[in-house]
Structure 1
Amino acid sequence: MTQFNRITLCTALLAAAPLALADTATLTISGSVLPGTCTLTDARIDLDPVKASDLTPGSDSQIKLGALEFTGCVGVAKAMLSFAGTAADGDANRWKNTEATDPASGVSISLLAGTTGNTYLKDGDSGIDVAVTGATASYPLRAGYFASPGAVIGAGEVRADITVTADYE
């Protein structure tokens, strides 16, 4: 067999050999970019019981410290708070006693910003900034009883449910 025939035969055999199979796959990568957010936990301030005769008409009484707590913050530098609820009758600075069962009469609730001072947080207030550092933040506030001037103070329960909305930046 000549050199030419051998090359031709080898080429023919290689051409006839089965080709190796190829496979393809798609790599999919997905995720989500979320707006910055925190978890604002429900807050509660339980005022200490007080005798009706110990409330002074026209003044805040039994002020107690509380706070709004933010946890799990991601991508947030500040929260902007707004407050909504029912204002006290004839007093836009205070919150109406909305206790349904055995409500105290002549008494509303004061809600104040911070640990000191006399800045009232009232229905419709908004744009109150809370700095967020890391994954948590806290906004201190205070609440207390308010005896309406000229009202007859009657014993009973006091309650106000206030909706706090936080928008994040």
Structure 2
Amino acid sequence: MSRSFFQLATAAALCLSASTTFADQATLTITGRVLPGTCTLVAPAIALDPIKADELVQGDNKLKDGTLDFTGCVGVGKAKLSFAGAAADGDADRWKNTAATDAAAGVSVALLAGATGSTYLKNGDTGIEVVVSGATARYPLRAGYYLPAVAGVSAGAVETEIVVTADYE
């Protein structure tokens, strides 16, 4: 062997051994959290049946069934509902008639929880629980005209919008 080959081999060996002496090691830590999933919340419109002004009685009138439907639920055990909108003038338990044109006077809207019972759902209600089973859930409710007093009623349109928010757990 030639001397230059030996020197070159020695230099290469030193370089290789030098690179391994400068090796470093680190631990990569990855963290995360799986949060509750979601559902698709659908609130179909509730079209109240027409009623004549002289047929209205004080209290709830022509209650009509409706539902809040939850579909496509993944990783959800329950939903907590909250309700927001305009409360009726002088009546925090009912909803204001906000019809933009030709509004009926003296009439508000009642929204009740469940298919039966007398629990009103009102502006500011929170924490109303709906159990989710599998990928779906339903929350029954009823809506109707509400007449606080027989005097002061006039014919016209009745409308209100209520924002329903669902927080999932």
Q: Normalising by the residue count of structure 2, what TM-score does the alignment of the two structures yield?
A: 0.78
For 1:83-94, list aligned pairs within 5 A. 83-94=83-94
In structure 2, the partner of 1:26 is none
Query: Residue by residue, what CA displacement relative to the aligned partner does 1:40-85 show, whole Å, maximum 9, x if unpaired?
Result: 013211100000000012x100000000000000000000000000
In structure 1, the partner of 2:42 is 41
**Would you say the 8 A contact 2:57–2:150 is kept in 1?**
no
Write the distance in 2 (CA, Å) between the matches of 1:102 and 1:159: 11
In structure 2, the partner of 1:127 is 127
Write the distance in 2 (CA, Å) between the matches of 1:36 and 1:140: 22
- C-alpha displacement of 1:148: 2.0
- C-alpha displacement of 1:150: 5.2
User: 3-state DSSP class of the match of 2:72?
Assistant: strand
User: 3-state DSSP class of the match of 2:73?
Assistant: strand
Does residue 167 of the first structure (1) align with residue 163 of the second (2)?
no
In structure 2, the partner of 1:148 is 148
Does residue 52 of the first structure (1) align with residue 53 of the second (2)?
yes
Query: Residue by residue, what CA displacement relative to the aligned partner does 1:12-48 show, whole Å, maximum 9, x if unpaired?
Result: xxxxxxxxxxxxxxxxxxxx95631000013211100
Amino acid in the other structure paired with 1:114: G
Write the distance in 1 (CA, Å) between the matches of 2:89 and 2:157: 17
Instruction: Point out 4+ residue stretches in structure 1 off by more than 3 angstroms.
Output: 32-35
Write the distance in 2 (CA, Å) between the matches of 1:165 and 1:106: 29
Does residue 115 of the first structure (1) align with residue 103 of the second (2)?
no
Q: CA RMSD in A?
A: 1.3
> Measured at CA, do residues 87 and 163 of structure 1 come closer, stay the same or move farther in structure 2, by a change above 3 Å?
same
Write the distance in 2 (CA, Å) between the matches of 1:168 and 1:52: 42
Unaligned runs of 5+ in 1: 1-31
In structure 2, the partner of 1:77 is 77
Amino acid in the other structure paired with 2:51: V
Query: Residue by residue, what CA displacement relative to the aligned partner does 1:64-122 show, whole Å, maximum 9, x if unpaired?
Result: 00000000000000000000000000000000000001000000000000000000000
Unaligned runs of 5+ in 2: 1-32
Q: How many residues are treated as equivalent by the alignment?
A: 137
Write the distance in 2 (CA, Å) between the matches of 1:141 and 1:52: 24
Amino acid in the other structure paired with 1:41: V
Write the distance in 1 (CA, Å) between the matches of 2:67 and 2:104: 25
Write the distance in 2 (CA, Å) between the matches of 1:132 and 1:33: 18
In structure 1, the partner of 2:157 is 157
Identity of aligned residues (%): 65
